[in-house]
Amino acid sequence: MVMKASLQLKLGQSLTMTPQLQQAIRLLQLSTLDLQQEIQQALESNPMLETSEDDDNQNPESTESESDTAEPTSAEESNPTSESSPDWDESENGPDWSSETDSPDTIPDDLPVDTAWDDIYQSAPASSARNDDENDNDFETRNSPTETLHDHLEWQLNLTPLSERDQAIAHALMDAVDNHGYLTSPLEEIHSGMVEESDEDPLELDEVEAVLHRLQHFDPPGVFARNLQECLLIQLNQLPPDTPWLAQARLVITHYINLLGNRDYAQLLRRSRLKEDQLRDVLALITGLNPRPGDTLDQAEPDYVIPDVIVRKHNERWRVELNPEIAPRIRVNASYASLIKRADSSADNTYLRDQLQEAKWFIKSLQSRNETLLKVATRIVEHQQGFLDHGEEHMKPLILSDIAQAVEMHESTISRVTTQKYMHTPRGIFELKYFFSSHVSTDEGGECSSTAIRAMIKKLIATETPKKPLSDSKIAAMLGEQGIKVARRTVAKYREAMHIPPSNERKRLV
């Protein structure tokens, strides 16, 4: 068989992303903290980039005053890097972004080296300088190690006079304590494990119990308990003897804790022989105890959120601004850029030219990110003015395609913008994704946001009678009376999503 070589010409279409567009998309999906790290790395690796400190001596109060009171000019509206952003009232349709800037979905394949220096982008004004003491205190607060429950118990054990034998028992017991402060292994198991290790003078179970009772006096109260009943009794025993209703609380916990857990107050009143007002005082004392004592120490490090955009009301209009604190102002170093010679093809000149090109594309990508973020946030605020004015019950249904059509971008771009980006509003700080929700039909043919329905459910439960809490079916019926069609299982799903227990667990004596 003879193989013959031949040439064939085929036509086809393919989509290719330039490195610059890939960089813009990558910066678009970064959170604020990740973006700050990315900018810092770019400043360290590219000599053509530098931070700008030209306006450090400018009075921040006067700047803020001007941005709040002055009407935005056409130049300001076309440049999202300005501190001011377009505003609107309910009679307006919002700014027409499509005519102001090109869509960040498409970035030019090439940026000329000799672009005018006036076009250099400065991402955000520098933060106002704080004194060194405030910076030091902030660093200590954010970076101080958190003491764990085991560390706290170990510290107390080192201050407790015990023999070497008892010290070994205490460490064995401590190893069996979980993060909530409970002893997870039976004493018999801990005892048998220590007996196998000792050849002489076998260890007795009574010795382990004696050390355990001593450790149960450690802080936090209730630690080293083997179950909830013992945990609550340990805390009651550490209260002053003259504490009101202490004896009755011990009685309820010792003999009727199951009735208390099932909220069977009728049986509890009959068997404890307490009157209703007396049982109410006893339960108040019991509910003041901590069923998970270890949680007071073993807490996760807090997550600090830096908002990307700030929303405030000025002259009855909602204004959307980029947070000036999210990133340092950067620009191209004019001194280094002036060293580039157009006709020189030496290695040094080529290196400088490449670094200049990368610096300009990085600045362009930052500009694209902020333009897109401000566009999306502006449309979200325009759509959700009811929430900003009146609260969650007035949240409107909103999906990604609604914003994508409004700003003429792809839904994937909107998804990247709204992930790990936060908005500071007078009602709190929310992730941009919070403002998106599905809808439920109403009797009038309209739509109600699922977020608004959850707020209504939460409000109904907050105002229910504690002795007769509302069932999911009753809540669904009450929502139906307001014209909102929602099934009982949907109410249960929303209630569980808000971590609200069912009606039988919400029942209270008071």
Mean pLDDT of 363-390: 92
Q: What sign for the dihedral angle of Cα 224, 226, 228, 233? A: negative
Asked whether residue 137 carries a pLDDT value surpassing 70, the answer given is no
Contacts (Cβ under 8 Å, ≥6 apart) of 352: 48, 336, 337, 339, 340
With cut-offs at 50, 70 and 90, classify the pLDDT of residue 59: very low
pLDDT at residue 69 in the model:
30
- Give the number of other CB atoms < 10 A from CB of residue 28: 22
Q: Distance between CA 454 and CA 459 in Å, rounded?
A: 9
Categorize the per-residue pLDDT at 344 as very low, low, confident or very high, splitting at 50, 70 and 90. Answer: confident
Give burial (CB, 10 Å; 0-12/13-18/19+) of 69: exposed
Residue 510 has pLDDT above 80, yes or no: no
On the question of a cis peptide bond just before residue 220, with omega within 30 degrees of 0, the verdict is yes
Is the confidence at residue 398, as pLDDT, over 50? Answer: yes
Name the pLDDT band for 346 (thresholds 50, 70, 90): confident
Q: Which two tokens stand for residue 467?
A: 């002795």
Judge contact between 289 and 282, C-beta under 8 A: no
Q: Contact, 425 vs 313, CB < 8 A?
A: no
Evaluate if residue 141 carries a pLDDT over 70: no
- Among candidate residues 271, 449, 75, 490, the one with its CA nearest the CA of residue 475: 490
Q: How many residues are listed for the chain in this entry?
A: 510
Residues above pLDDT 90, as percent of the chain: 39
Structure tokens at 457: 């459910």
* Alpha carbon distance 51, 215 (integer Å): 57
**Residues in contact with 30: Cβ distance below 8 Å, sequence separation at least 6, in sequence order:** 38, 420
Report whether 397 contacts 448 (CB < 8 A). Answer: yes
pLDDT digits (tens, 9 = 90+) for 445-465: 667 888 888 999 999 999 988
Q: Across 345-443, where does the E strand assignment appear?
A: 422-425, 428-431, 439-441
pLDDT of residue 15: 58
Q: CA separation (Å) from 83 to 63, 260, 346? A: 9, 58, 42
Q: What is the mean pLDDT of residues 400-429?
A: 90
CATH number for the 437-506 domain, one of 1.20.1440.60, 2.102.10.10, 1.20.1560.10, 1.10.10.60?
A: 1.10.10.60
Instruction: Please write down the HEC assignment for all residues of 230-251.
Output: HHHHHHHHCCCCCCCCHHHHHH
- Dump pLDDT digits (tens) for 183-238: 999 999 998 888 765 556 678 899 999 999 999 999 999 999 999 999 999 999 99
pLDDT of 216-225, one tens digit each? 999 999 999 9
Instruction: State the Cα–Cα distance between residues 232 and 289, nearest whole angstrom.
Output: 7
- Residue 2's pLDDT is 64
pLDDT 10s digits, 245-270: 999 999 999 999 998 888 888 899 99
For residue 139, what pLDDT is reported?
45
Instruction: Say which residue, 40 or 54, is predicted with more confidence.
Output: 40
Min mean pLDDT across 92-96, 142-146, 267-271 is at: 92-96
Is it the case that residue 426 has pLDDT exceeding 50? yes
Model confidence over 317-326: pLDDT tens digits? 999 999 988 8
Give the helix/strand (H/E) hosting 88.
strand 87-88
Domain spans in the chain, listed from the N-terminal domain onward: 20-55+80-88+307-389+416-431, 149-296, 437-506
- In the predicted model, what is the mean pLDDT of the chain? 79
The listed range with the strongest mean pLDDT (6-10, 66-70, 353-357) is 353-357
- Regarding predicted confidence, which is higher, 10 or 279? 279
- Cα→Cα distances 299→179, 220, 305, Å: 9, 14, 18
Q: At 84, is the pLDDT very low, low, confident or very high (cuts 50, 70, 90)?
A: very low
The 10s digit of each residue's pLDDT in 155-177 is: 999 999 999 999 999 999 999 99
Instruction: State the Cα angle at 414 between 413 and 420, rounded to 5°.
Output: 105
| pLDDT computed for residue 319 by the predictor | 93
